[in-house]
Each structure stands twice: as C-alpha cells, then as structure tokens.
Amino acid sequence: MDYTHLGRSGLSVSRLCLGTMNFGWKTEESDAHAIMDRALADGVNFFDTANVYGFDAGKGRTEEVLGSWFAQGGERREKTVLATKVYGGMSDWPNDTFLSARNIVRACEASLRRMQTDWIDLYQFHHVDLRTPWEEIWQACETLVAQGKVLYVGSSNHAAWQIVAANEAAARRNFQGLVSEQSHYNLLTRLVELEVLPAAQHYGVGIIPWSPLAGGLLGGILEKQEGGRRGDARTQERVETHRPALEQYEAFCREIGHEPGEVALAWLLHQKAVTAPIVGPRTMAQFDGALRALDITLDDGQLARLDEIFPGYKPAPMEYAW
C-alpha cells in the first residue's frame, strides 16, 4: 500500500479511502466488520463515514457499526484514520442541522459516542452552510481541537471560493483550517477541474473524490446490461445519455486488459490533486476490485485517450479566456 499526506498536513493516509456508507443497512454488520478487517490487513488505513449514514436503518447506524468494530480492540482504532461528517439533520429540531457552533460541537460528541472513540481524525463539513459565518464555524472547531476530540478539519461539496473563504478566515485566527475537500470527481464528472482543484492545490487541500465510478456507470455497466442487469430508470437514462462515450471506454479497458471500475480508480490516482478516492463496497468482492486499481499504471498515451473519451477542463480562466 502506498501512503501520502492528507493535503498540507503531516497525516499519512492510504491512497484508497474506505467509504462506509453502505454499512449497517445494505451491508450487514458482520460483513462490514470483515471488510474493515480486510482493509486494515491490506494497509487501507483511511475510513470515511458521516453522522447521517444509515438511511433505512436509521441515521447514525453506520457510525454505530464502526463503533462496534472498534470495540473489538486489536488496535483497530489506533490504526485507523477516522473521518466523519457534520451538517445533515439528525432530527426535526432546528439546531440539529447545518454548521452552527452548537450543532458542530454537539454532533461531534454524538458521533464520538456512536463510534466508541475519544477522537475523530478528520471532521468534515458535509455541505457548505452559507448562513453561518466562518468565524463561528472555526470557533467551534478550535474548541474541539483544543479538547483533543478533533485533529484535522475538512470540507465536502464546497466550491473553490468557499475553500478560499474558509482558509483565509482560519488564517486570520491562526488556525490550520481545511486540509481536505471531498468532491464529486470522476471521468464523467470533471467540473472541479475548473476551479476547485486549482484552489485546493494552492491552499494545500487534499482532494478526496466521492463516486469515483459515477454511480456505477464507469464500472462496466454496458457489459452488465448485456448480461441482464438493467438498473433503475434513472440509471438507464444516464446510460443512454453517455452511451457513445461508455462504449469507447469499455472497449479501451478491454484493449488494455483491465476492468472498467479499476481503470476509473486508477485514473483518479494519476491526478496530482487527488489524495485518495473513496471506494464504497457493499461486498468483499467489490473491495477486492478496488484494491486491484492500485497496481495499474496508465501511460501518457492511455491518459490522453481517456481525455479524448471523457474531455476534461483546463483550470479557469484558461478554459474560457485568453
């Protein structure tokens, strides 16, 4: 397993991040524990979750699954770089949502209880809160850091100007600020190349891509459909929208002898701004496929071919101005 620093921090994380969103409702607790054990055994030390994950089984359920796994001991917690998120509503009461100082502190304490741990390595803002000033947000985070409950802070789904505003506000307070940003980034979804990636690189913010397989479209979906797997109506509509590119992509993957999902992950690992793509397996077999991406090296010609199939963007303003 290769490791890299999370943004400009000194924290070492694996080049793949284990996303746990399926744990506790799509993936049974025992199976989730087995996947996490396998991840640590293979050197994946970076795990991501959120306080609202659990869905049909109830918000907070996924964090509880991590907590029961940590409770087994064996240095599971000590070896894991644990990331969770705050923002989404945990109840119908008005102060149990968003990024007020009250919610940040209380949500952190609730996550700690569910996960049976004393600290969170990376505490992330799940979405931007335009109604709460950064001074208030950083005041709450400074308190949690001073208490040892949070070590680093990151963002998710933030625009470039929001990353700038956040880190400039933190600098005025002599606080570290954001060290990471979770963005929707894959071969099909490359808008972050315009401004988010350049801003992140300027401020030393590591990019943690979510949905690296574009909701399954980059996982060999055409071949799967030929085998009888159709997916829901929305997925089928997206397939038809992108069919010409997907046909070229799957043919390219066959040509180089790798599975499409593995190539999609490998491509992200070749992007300079990327720290670690988030892989969210439901099964052990899916996790095995993600691991194989670490062994794929794409040469310049292959990377150029992928850019032809899925055109990206130059950094702004070079994309649209002279």
Flag whether 319 is in a domain. no
CA-CA distance, 103 to 109, in Å (whole number)?
10
Of residues 53, 123, 152, 249, which has the active-site annotation?
53
pLDDT tops 80 at residue 229: no
DSSP at 23: B
Flag whether 106 is in a domain. yes
* Average pLDDT, integer, range 185-190: 98
Burial grade of 131 (CB within 10 A; 0-12, 13-18, 19 or more): exposed
**Which string of DSSP letters, residue by residue, matches 115-164?**
HT-S-EEEEEESS--TTS-HHHHHHHHHHHHHTTSEEEEEEES--HHHHH
Burial grade of 55 (CB within 10 A; 0-12, 13-18, 19 or more): middle
CA-CA distance, 49 to 85, in Å (whole number)?
7
Where in the sequence is the domain holding 8, given as residue range(s)?
3-309
Flag whether 316 is in a domain. no
Q: What percent of the chain has pLDDT over 70?
A: 100
pLDDT at 235: 85
Task: Catalogue the E-assigned strands of the chain.
Answer: 3-5, 12-14, 17-19, 46-48, 81-86, 120-125, 150-156, 178-184, 206-210, 278-279
Q: Is 53 a catalytic residue?
A: yes
**pLDDT (tens digit, 9 = 90+) per residue, 113-153?**
999 999 999 999 999 999 999 999 999 999 999 999 999 99
pLDDT tops 90 at residue 181: yes
Flag whether 322 is in a domain. no
Q: Which phi and psi angles does 86 have, rounded to 5°?
A: -130, 145
SS3 call for 45: coil
* Residue with token string 């998120």: 85
Flag whether 318 is in a domain. no
Distance of CA 172 to the CA centre of its chain: 28
**pLDDT (tens digit, 9 = 90+) per residue, 91-116?**
999 999 999 999 999 999 999 999 99
Query: What is the residue type of 227?
Result: G
CATH number at residue 186: 3.20.20.100
Domain count, the chain: 1
Residue 272 pLDDT level (bands cut at 50, 70, 90):
very high
Flag whether 320 is in a domain. no
pTM of the model: 0.95
Flag whether 314 is in a domain. no
Flag whether 166 is in a domain. yes
